[in-house]
């Protein structure tokens, strides 16, 4: 029988259990995206805390766009040495570490220093109220190359893989969303065209890092908004990426303009449990790529049930590990009490991550 503490192989990576820290932007990098001691400490606590793998916070691949305050970067080779220290530390605790790479698109503040804001089309972001410039064919190539170079740097720095952020309304996610993608060229229109940016970006990464390096994606099962990405669209994208060799799919959902109560972490409460379970289970049943379920995972027994009843292989956590970085160690010791996170959402700030209950 399967167990949450099974040792498994994910694209050649040996994971000591099925628990993963989902990407979490902490806001503790310096103003150029470099590591700080505080950030290093957060990762060391996570690595000690028992997860099989850590996915880093969203890390920007090009400094042509305005990052979030304190966002991690990987836009040039100067990052390789400091990230080696991070990956070596993580490996000392037998925790794999995966770099999440992103282009923010219009989900950032307007730049005061002449940086660009890219979008599939010049459509104002309903949440951030920012309007990007429509990307030209040259911009598209530039961004795809930036992703590919970032992934190669990640490999050189010792990360066990990269995760392409295709969820939550960031640039790649926006290409999939009809409301934000109004293009009339081969990158817009039907789902085949709207998937092209993600497919080509994935392929550019794959060409750089080689066939064996783990490349994961995080994707919305649904945008939960009018003219948003639908679940049928999501499955289409997952099938296409599976054909291209993607190594794992983390199923999330929602966007800053989602309908209240559906999908976004701002409105989902602890009582709702693993709220993308049905979507992730259907994807896992249809597609022969390991699926990671994120969102609302709090209760050990409930996760065991999902593991038994579905073909979902992995479970990832964000807020529970902000509240309690050693949750997995606690569960492993036999104390199976549910996560202390009450999903109050107060940790969701762009200027640093602290749980109000155990603020240090
Ligand atoms: C403070 C905070 C920062 C986050 N940063 C990221 C991020 O960098 N990349 C990402 O894909 N998701 C990010 N998320 C979303 C989480 O990875 C996760 O999908 C979501 O919080 C639901 O999982 P949970 O119920 O375990 O918190 C963030 C969430 C929070 C609360």
Q: How far is the CA of 137 from the centre of ligand 1 (A)?
A: 31
pTM: predicted TM-score of the whole model, two decimal places: 0.97
At 279, phi and psi to the nearest 5? Answer: -65, -50
Q: Whose CA is nearest to atom 11 of ligand 1?
A: 23
For β-strands 13-15 and 8-10, DSSP reports them as antiparallel
Above 60 in pLDDT, residue 360? no
For residue 215, being part of any structural domain is answered with yes
* Segment 241-255 mean pLDDT: 96
Within a domain: 284: yes
Ligand 1 atom closest to Cα of 349? 1
- Range of 167's domain? 8-355
The answer to the question of residue 70 being in a domain is yes
- Mutation pick for ligand 1 pocket among 318, 338, 354 (CB with most ligand atoms within 8 Å): 318
Confidence (pLDDT) at 183:
98
Q: Is residue 2 part of a domain?
A: no
With a Cβ cut-off of 6 Å, ligand 1 is lined by 22-25, 57-58, 100, 165, 167-168, 218, 252, 265, 294-297, 317-320, 347-348, 353
Taking the centre of ligand 1 as the mean of its atom positions, its distance from the CA of residue 319, in whole angstroms, is: 7
- Going by alpha carbons, the residue nearest to atom 16 of ligand 1 is 318
Strand partners, 161: 98
Q: Which pLDDT band, with edges at 50, 70 and 90, does 343 fall under?
A: confident
* Total domains present in the chain: 1
Kindly state whether residue 287 falls inside one of the protein's structural domains: yes
**CA separation (Å) from 131 to 73, 119, 142, 185, 225?**
23, 8, 20, 20, 18
Asked, for residue 278, whether it belongs to a domain, the answer is yes
**Banded model confidence at residue 353, pLDDT cuts 50, 70, 90:** confident
In 13-139 the beta strands, taken as DSSP E runs, fall at 13-15, 19-21, 53-55, 59-60, 72-73, 96-102, 118-119, 133-134
What CATH number has the domain bearing residue 41? 3.20.20.70
Distance CA 129, CA 125 (A): 5
- pLDDT of 79-123, one tens digit each? 999 999 999 999 999 999 999 999 999 999 887 788 999 999 999
The answer to whether residues 244 and 206 touch, using CB atoms and an 8 Å cutoff, is yes
Q: Is residue 27 part of a domain?
A: yes
CA of 324 to the centre of ligand 1 (A): 15
CA 302 – ligand 1 centroid, Å: 20
351 pLDDT more than 70: no
Atom 23, ligand 1: residue with shortest CA distance:
295
Has residue 266 got a pLDDT over 70? no
- Residue at 3 is within a domain: no
- In whole angstroms, what separates CA 343 from the centre of its chain? 19
């Amino acid at each position: 029988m399967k167990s949450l503490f099974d040792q498994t192989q994910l694209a050649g990576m040996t994971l000591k259990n099925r628990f993963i820290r989902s990407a979490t932007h902490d806001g503790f990098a310096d103003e150029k995206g470099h590591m700080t001691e505080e950030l290093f400490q957060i990762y060391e606590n996570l690595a000690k805390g028992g997860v099989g793998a850590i996915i880093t916070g969203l890390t920007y691949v090009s400094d042509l766009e305005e990052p979030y305050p304190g966002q991690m970067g990987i836009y040039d080779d100067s990052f390789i040495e400091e990230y080696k220290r991070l990956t070596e530390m993580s490996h000392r605790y037998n925790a794999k570490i995966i770099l999440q790479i992103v282009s923010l698109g219009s989900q950032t503040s307007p730049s005061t220093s002449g940086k660009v804001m890219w979008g599939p089309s010049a459509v104002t972001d309903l949440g951030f109220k920012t309007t990007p410039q429509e990307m030209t064919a040259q911009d598209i190539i530039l961004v795809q190359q930036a992703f590919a170079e970032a992934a190669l740097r990640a490999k050189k720095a010792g990360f066990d893989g990269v995760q392409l952020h295709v969820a939550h309304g960031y640039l790649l996610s926006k290409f999939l969303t009809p409301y934000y993608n109004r293009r009339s060229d081969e990158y817009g229109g039907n789902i085949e065209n709207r998937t092209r940016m993600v497919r080509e970006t994935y392929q550019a990464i794959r060409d750089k890092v080689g066939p064996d390096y783990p490349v994961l994606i995080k994707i919305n099962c649904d945008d939960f908004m009018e003219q948003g990405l639908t679940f049928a669209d999501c499955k289409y994208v997952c099938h296409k990426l599976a054909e291209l060799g993607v190594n794992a799919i983390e199923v999330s959902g929602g966007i800053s303009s989602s309908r209240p109560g559906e999908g976004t972490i701002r409105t989902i409460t602890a009582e709702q449990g693993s709220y993308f379970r049905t979507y992730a289970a259907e994807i896992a049943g249809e597609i022969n790529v390991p699926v990671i379920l994120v969102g609302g995972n709090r209760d050990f027994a409930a996760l065991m049930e999902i593991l038994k009843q579905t073909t979902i292989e992995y479970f990832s956590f964000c807020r529970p590990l902000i509240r309690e970085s050693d949750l997995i160690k606690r569960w492993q010791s036999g104390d199976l009490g549910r996560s202390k996170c009450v999903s109050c959402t107060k940790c969701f700030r762009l200027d640093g991550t602290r749980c109000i209950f155990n603020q240090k």
